[in-house]
Amino acid sequence: MRLGYGFLGLVLSFTTTVSSLEARELPTLAPVETQAQAAHLSAQFLTRYAYRPVPLDDDLSEKIMNQFIKSLDPDRMLFAKADIDRFMADSKKIDDAILGEDLTIPFSIFSTYSQRVVDRMTYAQSLLNQDFDFTTQEEFSVQREKAAWAGSDDESKELWRKRVKNDWLRLKIAGQTDEAIRKTLGKRYQNIMDRVYTYKSDDAFQTFMAAYTTSIDPHTDYFGAKASAEFDISMKLSLVGIGAVLQDRDGYTTIRELVAGGPAQLSGKIAVGDRIIGVGQGEEGAIEEVVGNRLDEVVQLIRGKENSVVRLDILPVDAGESGSHRVINLVREKISLEKQAASKKVLSVEENGTTRKIGVIALPTFYEDFDARQKGDKDYRGASRDVAKLLGELKQENVDGVLIDLRDNGGGSLSEAIEMTGLFVGKGPVVQQRNTEGEIRVDSDDLSKPAWTGPLGVLINRGSASASEIFAAAIQDYGRGVIIGDPSFGKGSVQTVVNLDRMTKSRDANLGELKLTIAQFFRIDGGTTQLRGVTPDIGLPGLTDPKTFGEASYDNALPWTQIKPAKHKTLGDMEALVPELQQRHDVRVKKDADFQRFVEDVEELKVQREKPTISLNEAQRRKEMEAVTARLKARQEADGSVSPEDDGLQSGERSLSADLALENARKNAKDVLRTEAAAIVADQAAMLAKAGKAGK
């Protein structure tokens, strides 16, 4: 799955530099030579070696232009029709710009985008000096992806008047005073504007290249040096640093979380909420002030080589802006990102007086330390190794069944998905690949004996993609376990990452990396997970909108197709079990109040999602809110659950403690889907035991 670049959405989630009401000149962003070279070299690869080559011509040029504009202004709230007309006059010149290594056009568009953000936020702030009339009947459009662009300055101002009025009304209904609302929104709009002044050439180029690559296919991508480094960290599940999660809060780089056992936590000199106001290198390195700096820049200063020293100038959480601060030295260490690693939990499922233990293994991603594995490190980190260890522990705990939770697992290492499949099926084919020449290769696991032969379930949702779908599909095709949940994403394509520097004679070019599609996945039954995904044996309600999320939501996705099945021997007959599993599930959830409330939430979300507009009338909005509040109160009285009410605030606008409390509340909320999936695996265990087929 790819990372999207919707820049307005990106800036809305950040609180960055210290506010300033003084008129400032926007930074002049211009392409550098290496960026033009990287774009040209990427074009050569994409037109020659992509799985579905697309010529870089006028047709593709127009698609790139449309995608670029959409990524900058997805809700059509920033640009005016005159801007769009001017952009589209050059829409057939993007191909020439790339091939001619002249990126003036996209950089000019990005500059216009930056100016429009300043224009709109300046106007939004000016509206805070007036009072709004909330007794009138007005509607604010919340679905503007295909709306007409503002044809005049007056139309644009009217759009933003309603936008600000809606922001104000949310805070008003949440109980804030007019004075507090003016302060909150003034700060919000200033922070959005301030972010624009921190943009650099890399931001404009990365956004343009994302528009180009996604115009080829949804999963082709370009990584600049920073993006490439973050990708490596996510796959290795480790980095060298101080062991702290950082966040921008009002211009300060703030400690959001301390990693247990990391240098920051062990020092005893840093606390959650502390602010980093300066960073120095080495034991005697000069301190560089970082107040107002971009978070990614501060992070790069803090990270470094293992066993090296970083100096931090800390302003304690309880100190004012002019309070006393202290300088501390920390030795950087290799930090393990355990939150993204496989984890286990044992759930007890009671049914008809019998209690069965189901081991749940949650896997957020199929990670693998590629470098360590290539170097022959026998202890390299990998998802399948961690899962194998957890399975051993669950066997020691005598669980009756295992549930693999792959919800929102967007994929990762193909080899790890193959090896993890082997833990449950042993030696045999797992997935087929067809390359650009039409050649088909069967990838198999060679594990002689599976690590777990007992009852098995796999829980998926719309966010389960790529490697997750390969694993789930193989388990399903082997008849090895029951697939539970929501239809998966539908990403059945294979990507490889090309280091563009290696394609040039210069070792210091720093051109970045290109991820391009080179093949397509096929299940061992011959079908593909592309477009259609994996269909669960037992369906559960999902929260996502399949019209806007998933492979089928892309207009240039590869089609579904089929090849010959790979030779394999099924290991079980899940088709024979599914009817009774479904019947037991249906009976159970009808009596499960928590599950039925979740179904209500899904239906309510669907209704809200399909509303094209929202009322700006206070009485009507309060009536709607009262209905929601009554429903939440009834739920609390029934089961004691606490659901936070809408406070109208965005992340970073609450206190850090309030943000963390909200995050913990969501994290600790009842997981009715996991509970029901475990019950389905328990049913499977009971049925197999009755038939004398339950293994371990």
**Angstrom distances, CA of residue 668 to CA of 203, 602, 639, 656:** 36, 19, 14, 18
pLDDT on residue 694: 65
How confident is residue 3, by pLDDT bands cut at 50, 70 and 90? very low
pLDDT on residue 1: 38
- Is 537 annotated as catalytic? no
To the nearest 10°, report the CA torsion of 558, 563, 567, 570: 60
Average pLDDT over residues 99-108: 97
Highest-pLDDT range among 17-26, 290-299, 437-446, 647-656: 437-446
CATH topology of domain 338-594+673-690: 2-enoyl-CoA Hydratase; Chain A, domain 1 (3.90.226)
Specify the CATH number of the domain 238-336.
2.30.42.10
For the cut 90, the answer to whether the pLDDT of residue 12 exceeds it is no
Contacts of 431 (CB under 8 A, 6+ apart): 414, 417, 418, 442, 443, 470, 473, 474, 521, 522, 523, 524
Average pLDDT over residues 435-454: 95
pLDDT on residue 378: 84
Each residue's pLDDT tens digit, 336-351 = 877 789 999 999 999 8
Each residue's pLDDT tens digit, 247-292 = 888 888 999 988 888 899 999 999 999 999 999 999 988 999 998 8
Low-confidence winner among 176-180, 201-205, 376-380, 572-576 (lowest mean pLDDT): 376-380
pLDDT on residue 234: 72
- Is 491 annotated as catalytic? yes
Contacts of 694 (CB under 8 A, 6+ apart): 400, 454, 455, 685, 688
pLDDT on residue 318: 82
Question: Residues 413, 466, 468, 488: which is the catalytic one?
Answer: 466
For the cut 60, the answer to whether the pLDDT of residue 13 exceeds it is no
For the cut 60, the answer to whether the pLDDT of residue 19 exceeds it is no
Using the 8-state DSSP alphabet, how is residue 142 labeled?
S
Average pLDDT over residues 35-42: 95
Q: What is the pTM of this model?
A: 0.88
In degrees and rounded to multiples of 5, residue 684 shows phi and psi of -60, -45
Label residues 209-225 b or e (16+ Cβ within 10 Å = b): bbbbbbbbbbbbbbbbe
Average pLDDT over residues 574-600: 95
Each residue's pLDDT tens digit, 506-541 = 667 789 999 999 999 999 999 999 999 999 999 999
How confident is residue 20, by pLDDT bands cut at 50, 70 and 90? very low
Residue 582: both structure tokens together: 């479904």
pLDDT on residue 117: 97
How confident is residue 368, by pLDDT bands cut at 50, 70 and 90? very high
Residues pairing with 527 in the sheet: 562
Residue percentage of the chain with pLDDT more than 90? 72
Question: Residues 443, 445, 477, 486: which is the catalytic one?
Answer: 477
Low-confidence winner among 121-130, 273-282, 559-568, 659-668 (lowest mean pLDDT): 659-668
Using the 8-state DSSP alphabet, how is residue 466 labeled?
T
For the cut 50, the answer to whether the pLDDT of residue 125 exceeds it is yes
Half-sphere exposure for 681 (CA within 13 Å, toward CB)? 34
For the cut 50, the answer to whether the pLDDT of residue 11 exceeds it is no
Average pLDDT over residues 17-32: 70
Question: Residues 165, 236, 344, 491: which is the catalytic one?
Answer: 491
Q: Which residue has the tokens 């624009």?
A: 196
Each residue's pLDDT tens digit, 227-248 = 777 777 777 777 888 999 898 8
Q: Do the Cβ atoms of 540 and 673 come closer than 8 Å?
A: yes
Taking the CB of residue 354, how many other CB atoms lie within 10 A of it? Answer: 10
How confident is residue 411, by pLDDT bands cut at 50, 70 and 90? very high
Label each residue of 412-450 as H, E or C: ECHHHHHHHHHHHHCCEEEEEEEECCCCEEEEEECCCCC
Nearest to 301 by CA among 282, 317, 314, 319: 282
For the cut 80, the answer to whether the pLDDT of residue 213 exceeds it is yes
Taking the CB of residue 294, how many other CB atoms lie within 10 A of it? Answer: 19
For the cut 70, the answer to whether the pLDDT of residue 642 exceeds it is no
For the cut 90, the answer to whether the pLDDT of residue 413 exceeds it is yes
Nearest to 35 by CA among 509, 547, 498, 415: 509
Average pLDDT over residues 666-676: 89
Domain ranges in the chain?
7-216, 238-336, 338-594+673-690
For the cut 50, the answer to whether the pLDDT of residue 97 exceeds it is yes
pLDDT on residue 643: 63
**Angstrom distances, CA of residue 434 to CA of 279, 417, 431:** 50, 18, 10
Average pLDDT over residues 367-373: 86
